[in-house]
Amino acid sequence: MPIDLRRRDDIAAAVAAYDGANPSVPLPRNAARLLAVMFPSEDVWQRTQEAIAAEGFSRDRLPAESTHTARPAAPPQSACSGR
C-alpha cells in the first residue's frame, strides 16, 4: 500500500522528536519505516501482519518490533504536525 510522502515525513519527524526527547530509550532504527507501513493513510492500524511482512519486515521479528514501537508514549502533537 503506497504511503503519502508528506505522511511519511511527518512520521519520521515524530520519531525523531521522540528520540530527541528520550535519548536514553530511542526507538529502533526502523521504527519510522515500520510506522509508515503500518499507518500509510490513517491513524488506525488496519493491516495484517502478513501485509506488513510483505513490505520487507521479518515475520519472526514483527511482533517484537510492533510491540516495542507501540509501547512509548506518542510524541507531542506539535512534533507530528511539523510545528
Of residues 48 and 17, more confidence is placed in 17
Q: What is the pLDDT of residue 63?
A: 57
**30-76, pLDDT tens digit by residue?**
899 888 888 888 787 777 778 878 877 777 766 555 544 444 445 54
Rounded alpha-carbon distances, angstroms, from residue 33 to 29, 30, 58: 9, 5, 13
On the question of pLDDT at 20 being above 50, the answer is yes
On the question of pLDDT at 78 being above 70, the answer is no
